[in-house]
Amino acid sequence: MPVLVSLTLDQGLNLLGTALGPWLLVVLLAAAAAGVGLYRRSRATPPEPPRVRRFTLLRTEDADGTPVRFETTRPAGTRITPWIDGRQRLYELTDVPLEDGTYAAEPLDRF
């Protein structure tokens, strides 16, 4: 049986070589490169979906005296303008964790 498989493969390659002639090596190299590219793409790790993070807007308070919180999927370094006390304020999101498990959002419009 192995002899029959070997003979069949040998004849198939001879037929392929006859049909493509001198371009056989180029076609085989292109097919190998495409196969490697598809393999690497399939093995790549998918990007991590954005996660919701909670930020505490520093130097702000609700009517009951608790700090104002802001939830978003935006990355650190993003500037946001939420409405606080009837007007918009400018804040920058940071990667600084606070004791309550939220991250700090620093005010930029008042010093």
* pLDDT tens readout for residues 29-82: 888 888 888 888 777 777 778 899 999 999 988 888 889 999 999 999 999 999
pTM of the model: 0.56
DSSP one-letter string for 25-74: HHHHHHHHHHHHHHHHHHHSPPPPPP--EEEEETT---TTSPPEEEEE-P
